[in-house]
A and B are shown apart, each in its own frame.
Chain A
Amino acid sequence: MSILDKLCVVSEARNALLPPGVDPFNVVIEEIYSATEASIQGRRVLLAGTNNYLGLTFDPQCIKAAQVSLEKEGTGTTGSRMANGTFAGHRDLEKDLASFCSCSEAIVFSTGFVANLGVISTLAGPGDVIVLDADSHASIYDACRMSGAEMIRFRHNNLEDLEKKLKRLGPKAEKTLIIVEGIYSMLGDCAPLAEIAALKKKYGTWLLVDEAHSMGVLGDHGRGMAEAAGVEDDVDFIVGTFSKSLGSIGGYCVSNHPELALIRYVCRSYVFTASPSPSTIASVRAALQAIQTKPQLRTRLWDNATLLYQGLKELGFELGPDLSPVVAIRVPTREKTLLAWQTLLDRGIYVNLVFPPAAPAGMSLLRCSISAAHTPEQVDFILETFSDIKNLMT
């Protein structure tokens, strides 16, 4: 038995699934033209699966801010936040995030994944309990395992199952952290956060919400699901990312618990990894400003999401349960999903192909994510193309 044998299993699974020369999991964007267009496999395609919800990757102010920082501060920090990797911009962004979220504390991480990994594994430890939604992101599962806490899973968005599990905790409830997401990344469905916050209060637990796909998308001010559900005061910790609505890369955690600041000393993914480059931080600060000063971006995003979701529904596709900027189309088999994905690409549309276990409940999905930067004509093109290839997907 070799250490590499397990990878042979991966190779066999890949070869059984994918025809030679087709690998939807290693797509290369050969050239990027805008927030919605790129070149893939030698052809110009419409991007409909990039999580670029507000289309800010090509926002002139974000680009300018990054350019100025790049000239002034160089290409990278070459150090972790705890050592030489905290520049004034990192602290300024933390102040911006705290102010935006009306929280006293904010910490910036290098990615959203390591924000979850670090925050969750530091907050919870042996002797504590984490109750997480079954459809939680891989970073949450990994963080829970790293924490050493007891991990209890409740059925996705199932309040009855959540309450049953909270009730059984007894006195352990006060050492229990519930973890949910605002919008779930694969099906685009929303957490019933008002009800979850009510259960959190009823049983005296703690609550962490991952707003990766909902920050900039939900709420009157774009603060996410906690704002939209009117429960910001009941959420103890919010984790998020800069790589979706904010159009860059990085992650953060905000809270009104002053103890959050202490994790800077002990959180391994904060202490032992290089901090985001100054230009990244500068573009995120500009994007955060855009979220606050350009509410029309959210309006356009939801107009486009409604067009796509309703349009696909009228065409008879089986979609995720909630209207959101993540529009997932269920396809009966992996083979049909793969064929439809490649046909869409051949016809000029890139979407995400998702197989289990990344997709929940054994589903195969074509996952679209819509952007404020899409034009109505582009959304129409997506709908027309899906209509044309529907026979391949049923």
Chain B
Amino acid sequence: MTPTTYDTIFQQVIVLLQKYAPESGPINEETELVNDLGFDSLKVMEMLNDVEDTFDITYPLNSLSDLLTVKDFTEQIQSHVENS
């Protein structure tokens, strides 16, 4: 069953992000994917594969341009989960 509440998705997003940024400090809603976690384009693409599998969604690349923080990312995923 794919999670649909913001909080449940947020918790899973944190786990995923920690996998790709193991050296980072604590991750919260305001953490920025590029500036704080150091994600480059390759890492983002790998991470998106994981996100798509975990939430059983298609994540369009266009969505990346609106992405800054973990909160943005979680809200986007939630929107894709709800519309899938």
A residues near B (Cβ < 8 Å) are 134, 144, 150-153, 155, 165, 168, 356-357, 361-362
Contact = CB atoms under 8 A, between A and B. Distances in A.
Interface in B6-48: 40-42, 45, 48
B58 A357 contact: no
Interface residues of B, number: 11
23 contacts: A134-B45, A144-B61, A150-B60, A150-B62, A151-B60, A151-B61, A151-B62, A152-B58, A152-B60, A152-B61, A153-B45, A153-B48, A153-B61, A155-B49, A165-B58, A168-B58, A168-B84, A356-B42, A357-B40, A357-B41, A357-B42, A361-B42, A362-B42
Contacts of A150: 60, 62
A150 B65 CA distance: 12
A150 B49 CA distance: 17
Contacts of B49: 155
Nearest to B64: A151
A46 B48 CA distance: 41
Nearest to A164: B58
Contacts of A152: 58, 60-61
Contacts, number: 23
A152 B84 CA distance: 14
Contacts of B60: 150-152
A151 B45 CA distance: 13
Contacts of B48: 153
Nearest to B49: A155
Interface of B: 40-42, 45, 48-49, 58, 60-62, 84
A333 to B, nearest CB: 16
Given A152-B60, A153-B61, 16 more contacts: A134-B45, A144-B61, A151-B60, A151-B61, A151-B62, A152-B58, A153-B45, A165-B58, A168-B58, A168-B84, A356-B42, A357-B40, A357-B41, A357-B42, A361-B42, A362-B42
Main secondary structure of the interface of A (DSSP, over half): mixed
Contacts of A165: 58
- What are the nearest 9 A-B pairs in CB distance? A151-B61, A150-B60, A168-B58, A165-B58, A151-B62, A152-B58, A357-B42, A152-B60, A356-B42
A123 B24 CA distance: 43
Nearest to B65: A145
Q: Which of A134, A144, A153, A362 has the most CB of B within 10 A?
A: A153
Nearest to A153: B61
Contacts of B58: 152, 165, 168
Nearest to A132: B61
Contacts of B84: 168
Q: Which of B58, B62, B84 has the most CB of A within 10 A?
A: B58
A361 B42 CA distance: 7
A152 B45 CA distance: 12
Contacts of A361: 42
A47 B58 CA distance: 43
A162 to B, nearest CB: 11
A362 B20 CA distance: 14
A361 B84 CA distance: 28
A106 B66 CA distance: 38
A134 B41 CA distance: 12
A150 B61 CA distance: 8
Contacts of B41: 357
A152 B48 CA distance: 11
A332 B62 CA distance: 33
Contacts of A357: 40-42
Contacts of B61: 144, 151-153
A151 B64 CA distance: 10
Nearest to A166: B58
A155 B50 CA distance: 11
B34 to A, nearest CB: 12
A216 B61 CA distance: 33
Nearest to B45: A134
A151 B62 CA distance: 6
B4 to A, nearest CB: 16
Contacts of A151: 60-62
Contacts of A144: 61
A306 B58 CA distance: 39
Contacts of B45: 134, 153
A301 to B, nearest CB: 32
